[in-house]
Copies of this chain bind each other. A is one copy, B any other.
């Protein structure tokens, strides 16, 4: 867009001799701004804070199309949406994120309450459910979250980024809401044209059972779990070292864990393997988890989503609050490059880790049955059991995948403009018909039609066609100097294939119905460029 705007601007510069008072006044005002800035000796870095960025132009169009696709899917499943504040009382976020709590952004103490920016949408959701004594709800929430992490901008790992969450709260039949969240995951990604993904799935209770079998004490489970969680980035021998050397487990324990966490395959395969393992079936937690998996197998089949799922015992997920099924969707771009460690050492750019990290998971979620109750009890409310399960789409990461379909992206235009209103005339008495163009444009606006005109008193036809061309709009309405006086307007298709077409002279009173008719012809196939891009058409 910058190019386009610069070009447009240069057109205006060429006309600067005609420039109005406005611009002249602006120049004068600029001089006084200059003095003001000198006085205050303000030295400003013209940038956004580290790990954040502005979104604009066709990127915004694509991102909004992603949001629309996902929220339509959420609505399809009976979801309602909520919006919570961007910051929460600090105590609400405390103790929910394990080792990652250090990444929370705090607001400065300016008197009053201590607050922090939200780290995810799940904890605010649980706070909302507990606070309002809600017994069940299917809610979706698309909003920004904040993490003081090392950014990897081109991989979509930002400090400010959007999450798109769908959660089901309420005590229901086992695995029914869980299966629906997995179905939404599949519908969401395929709906965005992403088909080459895999859902890694595990169960916290099975994992806990494995740790018990391996001899990990209860209080060590979470830290061993977060070591295992690194298996998507590091090979087993690195993780094993962390388990034994850093986290004080025996060689034998580590080997036992290693034996299990390398298991993966279809739900049925891994289920069968575990279900015939005497140590597993003798462990109470693991058996509970396995029963869930047996139920899930039926429902995944009913939804036809089993082919996307890989039951992977190495998946652990870092967050403290998960209690049951956990899952994340990965693509070939998710993993870091093979020589990541080397690249990291070489990287001089401390600001951006893009060179040596992968895109990571593009969607993730799981079951968290205790979070709402934690809030209810901690606030002195009566204990309430509100089991929850959810799925969160990493929109920024998905965006970076969709964006790669670059050829299609070229056809997207950032504006929605459909009609450009122009005036053609000449001679000494030619006014340029500016108020007249305004009047006609206003009629189009009032009829809900996207329309623009050149903000100049007089502009020659070529400049007006250039401006229409840049907006990419399909129709022009032309006020001819004489024709307009006879209550006539000219309607013309734009684009190179209509270059020689003079258009059609119409009665000015017929403008709106004729434009509507012509626009419906233009948009006959009903699928616009963004939809094509999103769906990978």
Contacts and interface: CB of A to CB of B under 8 A. Distances in A.
Interface stretch (A23-31, A194-202, A227-235): A23-31
Contacts of A250: none
The 3 closest A-B pairs by CB, nearest first: A9-B135, A52-B85, A22-B174
A34 interface: yes
Contacts of A87: 49, 52, 160
A43 B378 contact: yes
A91 interface: yes
B85 A54 contact: yes
Chain A interface bracket (under 10, 10 to 19, 20 to 34, 35 or more): 35 or more
Interface of A is mostly: mixed
6 contacts: A30-B369, A49-B85, A56-B80, A56-B139, A60-B83, A173-B457
Contacts of A75: 415-416, 450
Contacts of A299: 435, 438
A332 interface: no
A151 to B, nearest CB: 11
A78 B417 contact: yes
A316 to B, nearest CB: 18
B136 A42 contact: no
Contact of A435 (B48, B83, B302): B302
A370 interface: yes
B442 A9 contact: no
A377 B29 CA distance: 13
A63 B53 CA distance: 26
Contacts of A83: 54-56, 60, 63
Interface stretch (A241-249, A266-274, A340-348, A380-388): A380-388
Given A20-B173, A76-B450, 12 more contacts: A9-B170, A20-B172, A21-B288, A22-B387, A33-B373, A34-B373, A34-B383, A44-B92, A44-B379, A46-B376, A77-B445, A105-B110
